[in-house]
Chain A
C-alpha cells in the first residue's frame, strides 16, 4: 500500500510536470504570436517607406542626369529629403524579446513541433540578416551619402520646413501638400560631380536599399506569416 501511494505520488508529479510544460508552451506561444503579429504590421509600413525612398532616389538620379541646378524644383527638394536625408522611416527593428527568451532560457524545447522549431531557427537567421544589411546600409550612408548631404544640402530650406517647432517629417508632409514653394539652393553647385553622384545613388538604391527590402525583409515577412499560421493551428490562437 505504501509503495502504491508513493508510486501514485510520483505519477501525479510526472503528470503535473507535463501539464506545467504544456501550459508554459501555450503561454509562450501566445506571447510569441503577439510579438510576431505586431512586427508583421511594422514590416509592412517599413516596406512602404522603403518603396517611397527608392522612388525618390530614382527621381534624384534622373534629375542629376539632365537638369539644371540654378533653379531647383520643389519636387527635387522633397525627393532629396525622402531619398537620402531620411533614414529612420526605412529602418526595421524586429521585436525579439520573446524569441530571445525562448532561445536563451531553453524554453524552445516546450515547442515539440519540429516545423515550428525549424521556422523559429529560420526567423532568427532572417532577423540577423536584416541587422547585417542595415549595418551595411549605415556604412554605405556614412561613406557615400552623408558627404553628399554635407556638401550640397540646403539647411536654410530645412529650417523653413521645421518652422513652428515641426519635426522634419511633419514639415515635409505639410510642404508636399501645400502649394507654397521654399527656395532650395544646392550648396557647392559648381563642384557637383554629376556622374559620381549618379553612380553613388544608383548603387545605394539598387544594391543597398531595395535589395534589403526585396531579399531580406521579404524573407522575414514570409517566415513571420508562416509562423503565425503555424502557431494559430497548433495552439488555436485567435487574432
Chain B
C-alpha cells in the first residue's frame, strides 16, 4: 500500500510537470502571438510611410535634375525634409521581447512542432537582417546625408513649420502643410556649391537602399511573421 502511495505520488509529479509545461507553452504561444500581431500592425504603418518617402525621393530626384533651384515650388521643401531630415520616423524596429525571453530561458523547447521551431529561427534571422539594414540606413544618414544637409538645408523651414503646433509630429505637420494653402518659403543654401548630379545620385542611392530594405528584409520579415502567426493559430487555437 505504501509502495503504491509513493508510486502514485511519483506518477502525479510526472504528470504535473507535463501539465505545467503544457500551460507554459500555451502562455508563451499567446504572448508571442500578441507580440507578432502588434508588430504586423506597426509594420503596415511604416510600410505606407516608406512608400510615401520613396515617392518623395522620385519627385526630388527629377526636380533637382531638371528644374531651376532658385525659385522652389511649395512641394519642394516637404519632400526635401521627408527624404533627408526625417529618418527615425521611417525605421521599423521589430519587437522581440518574448522571443528573446524564449531563447534566454531555454523555453523554446516547449514548442515541439518542427515547423514552429524552423519559423523561430527564420524570424530571428529576419529581425537581425532588418536591424542590420536600419543600421546601414542610419550610417548613410550620418554620412553623406548629414554633411550635405548642414550645407544645403534651410533649418528655418522645419522651425517655422513647427510653430504651427509645437507638440505635433513632423510627419503630421507636413501632411497638413501639403493640404493647405500657406507657403513657408525656403531656399537651398550655398547653391553655388550644390552639385545637381551628385545630389540626384545621392537621392537615388538612398531610395534604392530604402526600397531594397522594404522589398527584401522587411518583406521577408512580414512574410515570416504572418507564417508564424498562422502556425501559432493552428497549433494553439488562438484568435
Contacts and interface: CB of A to CB of B under 8 A. Distances in A.
Contacts of B192: none
Contacts of A68: none
Range, interface on chain B = 35 or more
B140 A167 contact: no
B172 interface: no
Contact of A88 (B108, B117, B121, B216): B216
A98 interface: yes
Contacts, number: 116
Contacts of B17: 20
- Most chain A C-beta atoms within 10 Å of own C-beta, residue among B2, B121, B197: B121
B114 A34 contact: yes
B110 to A, nearest CB: 10
A93 B120 CA distance: 14
Contacts of B122: 95
Given A6-B6, A12-B10, A16-B10, A104 B103 contact: yes
A105 B144 CA distance: 43
A122 interface: no
A34 B117 contact: yes
A58 interface: no
A151 B216 CA distance: 25
B48 interface: no
A80 B6 CA distance: 75
Interface stretch (B77-85, B151-159, B202-210): B202-210
A107 interface: yes
10 contacts: A13-B13, A24-B109, A27-B109, A34-B118, A95-B125, A105-B107, A138-B135, A150-B144, A150-B202, A155-B208
Q: A-B pairs with the 9 shortest C-beta distances?
A: A105-B106, A155-B204, A95-B121, A104-B104, A9-B6, A97-B124, A97-B121, A5-B2, A101-B103
Interface of A: 1-2, 5-6, 8-9, 12-13, 16, 20, 24, 27-28, 31, 34-35, 38, 88, 91, 93-98, 100-101, 104-107, 138, 142, 146-147, 149-151, 153, 155, 158, 167-168, 187-188
